[in-house]
Amino acid sequence: MVWKLVFHSMLMLLMFQLAAAPPPIAKAGCRDRCGDISIPYPFGIGKDCYMNEWFAIECNETVSPARAFISAIEMEVLNISAERAAATVKAPIISSNCTGRENGVPLNLSGTPFVFSYYNVFVAVGCNTEALMSGARQDLVFNLTLEATDDNQDREGCKLAFLVNETWFESNISDPFTVQHRNYVPAELGWMMDLNRFIDDQSLYCTGYQNGSFLSECACRGGYEGIPYRELGCKDVDECKESKHTCRGLLKCVNTPGYFNCEINKLYIALIVIGAVVLALSLLMGIWWLYKLVKKRKNIELKKKFFKRNGGLLLQQELRAADSRVHKTSVYSSEELGVATDRFNVNRILGQGGQGTVYKGMLADGRIVAVKKSTVVDEGKLEEFINEVVVLSQINHRNVVKLIGCCLETEVPLLVYEFIPNGNLYNYIHDQNQDFLLSWEMRLLIAFEVAGALSYLHSAASIPIYHRDIKSTNILLDEKYRAKVSDFGSSRSISIEQTHLTTLVQGTFGYLDPEYFQSSQFTEKSDVYSFGVVLVELISGQKPIFSVSQTETRSLATHFIMLMEDNRLSDILDARVKELCQNEEVILVANLAKRCLNLNGKNRPTMREVASELERIIGLSQKELSIQENCKISKNIMDVASNDWDASKNIMDDAVSTPITATGDFDTSRTPSSDGEQPFINTTKC
């Protein structure tokens, strides 16, 4: 175990030393020094250690320290820098008229790869001295002419001129005249070679000029080191390993050829991103939870506010005080009705009117209901509204659409009614198709049922209720085609001692009582007038306002009265009525309608009288049937009448003496129930 640890330690140390060792400067297997002088490639000592013969170095080791010479130009080398492509050599000093010294031999580098470097300076020393360099190319030929600047002087002094490395000269020579004691000074040579070998190498750069062949001085670019004149000699410096980078903190050093990049540490970034995401999610979850909490509390407070404003407290009192024998109004939450109507989905809309929109819904117990969402609310009459809701919810008449409950925690109250599946009477009268014909007996029975319901509202309830908007669209038909009076949105209740109600005129044009229109005083006879228009609709099949021409419309009530006075009733009868009726019955109904449409309200019958008259007419209709039919139909009629009046009597005894108003503007399905009980059908023709 110990020797393994020692081995690993030595291996790691060796790898560290190899990594820290500088790159080799000489060719592999060749000496890289001569004495104190480094010999980098393209120079070399010995065969095959240099690029070519021009770069052969002769090392004289007979002296100490050893001296290196460039054999081809016979110049002693003082230093070689492959990075700067420069060799410092001993350059001769050219002299003239100097006692005790040779004049010196000019240098000529023509035909060699060497040139004088631009790091040299040309220096002339002496009095009355002018030195001129001559030659075709001064970077190759150092040929000097030393002359006197003033020919009139008696004698000439010693004149010197030389090329010298500028840096060395400035650092070592303070007095130029001391150079006369030297034979050589250091000068710098550059070298050039064929650029074609290195033109595609991005790790080095070369400079040169055209001289028969393209020659260049080359050096490794920044971020590279090595011998630029060897193939792939410039090696990339890994600044990241040698700490030659400036990447700090979250930045990670990534080595690139010739340089390095500071990239964001992905691990750190991943941790930061994960932390930031977790923090952001936590913050968002906290904000969302806080928002939901605040919203929930706000909704609760808003619901309490609406519940109180809409009379919820009063409704609770009324419900607690109500007799347990009568039906109590259910109070629903907004969530319950939202679920029941699929959040008030537009596809659930049954009908829309001036007072609101009606949606079809299904309660949690499976009951199908109609939910009316009002468009406006009169805050000044909310107490009256609650009283009316309580009283209306206690009405259990078979021919009045039943109010099941309400929701008071919304901005406007929501009313929940029983769902009536077979649409309204208007559609069956005016849009009747051949699949289902509204027979004469059905029309009589519907008229009787509506009259019975209005009679109950006017006289059998504890407080009279005026509907104020009787029309065929507000008479719905259930699955057995029983009539149901709906839309109490305009209705008003009055005390027993009152005979009329003074209000702003409300109603539907064509059904509106002219007397009420002129006086703004609504009485029970105003409902009678509107019912008279419905009777005429049943007889004639005409709309309450119909077109005589493209530019003229006429009131059905006025037109009917005019024809009755001219004894032309047959002109207005519905063809479908003519086929399936008795003349006597039609005349009786027409006379009843005429009485209901009397312009003087005092001369109109009450709804109780109207119901009694219709019951008598139905009785006459029974006598025209066969014995079997007569027995069956008479029993049904008597059951209907008996049930209606029994229900009226029971409600009258138990009703609470409070005002009554409700709403229920429905537009339900028109498709008759296939398994519904069909009303009386008389096939006896007129």
Name the active-site residue from 469, 574, 644, 665. Answer: 469
Quote the percentage of the chain above a pLDDT of 70.
Answer: 74
pLDDT at 248 over 90: no
Q: Are residues 219 and 336 in the same domain?
A: no
Kindly report, residue by residue over 102-120, the tens digit of the pLDDT. 777 778 888 888 888 888 9
pLDDT over 60 at 662, yes or no:
no
pLDDT for residue 339: 94
Question: Which pLDDT value is given to residue 126?
Answer: 85
Q: Which position has the higher pLDDT, 6 or 206?
A: 206
pLDDT at residue 159 in the model: 87
Nearest alpha carbon to residue 332 among 323, 341, 324: 341
Least confident of 121-130, 381-390, 416-425, 597-606: 381-390
Average pLDDT, the chain: 79
- 199, 234, 269: which is the final residue of a domain? 234
Give the CA distances from residue 205 to residues 52, 112, 199, in Å, rounded to whole numbers and listed in that order: 21, 21, 9
**277 domain-assigned:** no
Domain range spanning residue 319?
305-654
Q: What φ, ψ does residue 131 adopt, rounded to 5°?
A: -115, 130
pLDDT-derived band at 649 (thresholds 50, 70, 90) equals very low
Neighbours of 528 (CB within 10 A): 25
Q: What is the mean pLDDT of residues 316-320?
A: 72
Quote the pLDDT of residue 559.
Answer: 94
- Residue 319 and residue 213 in one domain: no
Tell which of 200, 234, 268 closes a domain: 234
Q: What pLDDT sits at residue 95?
A: 86
Query: Same domain, yes or no, for 311 and 170?
Result: no
What is the C-alpha separation between 169 and 447, in angstroms, rounded? Answer: 133
Residue 181: pLDDT band by 50, 70, 90 thresholds?
confident
The reported pLDDT for the residue numbered 155 is 64
Residues 221 and 315 in one domain: no
318 and 211 in one domain? Answer: no
Highest mean pLDDT among 268-272, 303-307, 396-400, 611-615: 611-615
**Other C-beta atoms within 10 Å of 110: how many?**
12
C-beta of residue 166 within 8 angstroms of C-beta of residue 120: yes
Residue 612: predicted pLDDT: 96
190 backbone dihedrals φ, ψ, rounded to 5°: -105, 165
Q: Is the pLDDT at 610 greater than 90, yes or no?
A: yes
* pLDDT at 5 exceeding the cut of 70: no
Distances (CA, A) of 141 to 102, 107, 137: 20, 6, 6
Asked whether residue 227 falls in the same domain as residue 327, the answer is no
Beta-strand runs (E) in 149-284: 159-165, 184-191, 193-194, 204-211, 213-220, 224-226, 234-236, 251-256, 259-264
pLDDT at 648: 40
The answer to whether residues 214 and 86 belong to one domain is: yes
Angle at 68 between CA 67 and CA 70, to 5 degrees: 150
Mean pLDDT of 515-525: 86
**355 and 484, same domain (yes or no):** yes
* Predicted confidence band of residue 222 (pLDDT cuts 50, 70, 90): confident
> 540-571: per-residue pLDDT in tens?
999 999 887 777 888 999 999 999 999 999 99
CA distances from 146 to 120, 156, 159, 164, 187 (A): 19, 11, 7, 17, 20
Residue 422 falls inside a structural domain: yes
Residues 77 and 194 in one domain: yes
338 versus 14: the higher-pLDDT residue is 338
Angle formed at CA 13 by CA 265 and CA 238, multiple of 5 degrees: 40
Q: Is residue 272 part of a domain?
A: no
pLDDT at 43 over 80: yes
Average pLDDT over residues 8-35: 66
Domain boundary among 208, 234, 260: 234
Confidence at residue 678, expressed as pLDDT on a 0 to 100 scale: 37
Q: Do 321 and 216 belong together in one domain?
A: no
Confirm whether 663 is domain-assigned: no
pLDDT of 171 higher than 60? yes
For range 26-40, the mean pLDDT: 91
Same domain, 23 and 120: yes
287 falls within a domain? no
Return the pLDDT at 396: 78
Cα distance between residue 337 and residue 348, in whole Å: 12
* Joined tokens for residue 196: 């074609």
Domain count, the chain: 2
| Backbone torsions φ then ψ of 123, nearest 5 degrees | -120, 135
Kindly report the CATH number assigned to the domain that includes residue 478.
1.10.510.10
Average pLDDT on 447-459 reads 93
Q: How far is CA 587 from CA 169, 552, 577, 620, in A?
A: 144, 29, 12, 12
The percent of residues above 90 in pLDDT, for the chain, comes to 34
273 located within any domain: no
Judge contact between 488 and 438, C-beta under 8 A: no
Q: Which of 272-286, 426-440, 637-651 is least confident?
A: 637-651
How far is residue 82's CA from residue 38's CA, in Å, rounded to a whole number? 10
Q: Is residue 138 part of a domain?
A: yes
Q: How confident is the model at residue 23 (pLDDT cuts 50, 70, 90)?
A: low
Beta strand 403-407 with 330-331: parallel, antiparallel or unpaired? Answer: parallel
- Residues 227 and 336 grouped into a single domain: no
Residues 6+ apart with CB under 8 A from 404: 329, 330, 367, 369, 393, 416, 417, 418
Is 168 a residue whose pLDDT tops 60?
Answer: yes
151 catalytic, yes or no?
A: no
Q: Give domain status of residue 221, yes or no.
A: yes
Highest mean pLDDT among 123-137, 199-213, 499-513: 123-137
541 close to 429: Cβ distance less than 8 angstroms: yes
pTM: 0.52
Give the type of residue at 203: S
* Mean pLDDT for the stretch of residues 369-377: 81
Gap between the Cα atoms of 192 and 655, Å rounded: 123
Q: Which amino acid is at 652?
A: M
Handedness of CA 133, 134, 135, 137 (dihedral sign): positive
Six token digits for residue 212: 């028969």
In whole angstroms, give the CA distance from residue 129 to residue 122: 14
Look up residue 463 and give its amino acid: I
For residue 444, the one-letter residue type is L
Task: Return the minimum-mean-pLDDT range out of 280-294, 533-547, 617-631.
Answer: 617-631
Across the range 512-537, mean pLDDT stands at 91
pLDDT of residue 220: 80
